[in-house]
């Protein structure tokens, strides 16, 4: 079936370094992609999104890259901080249709002191 997957279940990064979290998606019809951050005991928190007509979008300390040719999505976090420790999910959907989000399994980002 269609799914969104992540390459690594856990990523450990030194505080202050940049983090890169990767994601592969399989549904060619998906045209809207979102990264969510989920801290323990909380619901997913929107970080950044990107539409399929773009290949890069920047936010505050975060950048999302979209490569539609290989169906790959990545989240870059600059100058990783202890507060960035969480599970990160990439998710895909099709805008203006059913809009249900398909989530991947998540990558746990662990910040080393």
Binding mask 17-56 for another protein (x = CB under 8 A): ---------------x-x-x----xxxxxx--x-------
Nearer to another protein, 100 or 113 (CB): 100
> CB of 3 within 8 A of CB of 90?
no
Closest CA to 44 of 86, 99, 2: 86
| C-beta closer to another protein: residue 13 or 34 | 34
Restricted to residues 65-94, the positions that interact with another protein (CB under 8 A) are 89, 91, 93
Burial 58-68 (b: 16+ CB within 10 A, else e): eeeebbbbbeb
């Amino acid at each position: 079936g269609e799914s969104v997957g992540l390459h690594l279940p856990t990523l450990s990064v030194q505080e202050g370094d940049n983090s890169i979290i990767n994601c592969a998606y399989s549904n060619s019809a998906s045209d809207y992609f979102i990264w969510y951050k989920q801290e323990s005991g909380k619901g997913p928190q929107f970080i950044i999104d990107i539409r399929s007509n773009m290949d890069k979008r920047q936010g505050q300390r975060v950048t999302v890259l979209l490569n539609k040719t290989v169906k790959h999505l990545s989240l870059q976090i600059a100058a990783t901080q202890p507060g960035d420790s969480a599970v990160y999910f990439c998710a895909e959907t099709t805008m203006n249709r059913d809009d249900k989000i398909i989530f991947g399994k998540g990558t746990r980002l662990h910040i080393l002191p």
